[in-house]
Amino acid sequence: MSLIDITTKISTATLDADRTADSVTLIAVSKVQPLERVQQVLEQGHRIFGENKVQEAQGKWPDLRAEFPDTQVHLLGPLQSNKVKPAVALFDAIHSLDRPKLATKLASEIQAQGRAPELFVQVNTGAEPQKAGILPADADAFIKECRAMDLPITGLMVIPPADEEAALHFALLRKIATRNGLANLSMGMSNDFEKAIKFGATHVRVGTAIFGARDYG
């Protein structure tokens, strides 16, 4: 598929869900993709991208942004405390805020740099031990704690368990967001972004379906 196929599918899913055309943001997940493919998508006019690792993003986006200055880059992968400084400097949004220590670090770094990426709290809705994210039962208290630090939390993010019905996890994420007054829902990837839109996704994160399979070799 290509960028245009995906944007068309997003528009259709959005209108089918009786939502306004501009209510869903496509994040093109460019991690691991060859530079020329990323450049092609930039040349087609897309300006919002997602990366998983601070170091990888640092290696490619300063140059690409010099060429395409209005580009936004979102961090989707886990953020280690010792990478908070470059992350605050580089990213326009961070989707993986998931623990008090990271919140404290982000608050002081945002203060120090006078620059604040938009923040999403990642929720581990499936309570999977290997997966990042705050547990659903701890989410309300954690969001409150982040707000007390003046962190600009605008929404929640989820990666549903691979072997479960994603809809249940999308619905749970929406419920937690609603009761905490958060407008944004970062959910839905290549295989399920249309379903996520039906459940209220405001940010879909699509990699493979736009760029092709990632070659980790």
Q: Which of residues 83-142 bind ligand PLP (CB under 6 A)?
A: none
- Told to check if 188 binds ligand PLP by CB under 6 A, we report no
The distance of Cα 217 from the centroid of its chain, to the nearest Å, equals 25
Q: Residue from 187, 189, 197, 201 that binds ligand PLP (CB under 6 A)? A: 189
Q: Which of residues 31-60 bind ligand PLP (CB under 6 A)?
A: 31, 52
Contact, 203 vs 23, CB < 8 A?
A: no
The distance of Cα 95 from the centroid of its chain, to the nearest Å, equals 4
Q: At what angle do helices 100-113 and 136-148 cross, to 10 degrees?
A: 30
Q: Which is nearer to ligand PLP, 67 or 165 (CB)?
A: 165
Q: Which is nearer to ligand PLP, 145 or 194 (CB)?
A: 194
Q: Which is nearer to ligand PLP, 107 or 167 (CB)?
A: 167
H/E element, 9: helix 3-16
Q: Which is nearer to ligand PLP, 29 or 38 (CB)?
A: 29
Q: Which is nearer to ligand PLP, 72 or 208 (CB)?
A: 208
Strand ranges for 148-206 from DSSP E = 153-157, 184-186, 203-206
Q: In a 3-state reduction of DSSP, which class is residue 119?
A: strand
As measured in angstroms, the least distance from the Cβ of 148 to ligand PLP is 27
As measured in angstroms, the least distance from the Cβ of 146 to ligand PLP is 20
Task: Please tell me the distance from the alpha carbon of residue 156 to that of residue 135, in angstroms, as a whole number.
Answer: 12
In DSSP terms, 74 is beta-bridged to 50, 93
| Number of residues binding to ligand PLP, judged by CB under 6 A | 13
Task: Please tell me the distance from the alpha carbon of residue 170 to that of residue 161, in angstroms, as a whole number.
Answer: 11
Q: Which stretch binds ligand PLP (CB under 6 A): 57-65, 107-115, 133-141, 207-215?
A: 207-215
- Told to check if 77 binds ligand PLP by CB under 6 A, we report yes
As measured in angstroms, the least distance from the Cβ of 186 to ligand PLP is 8
- Told to check if 196 binds ligand PLP by CB under 6 A, we report no
The distance of Cα 137 from the centroid of its chain, to the nearest Å, equals 22
Contact, 74 vs 92, CB < 8 A?
A: yes
Residue ranges that bind ligand PLP, judged by CB under 6 A: 29, 31, 52, 76-77, 159, 189-190, 205-209
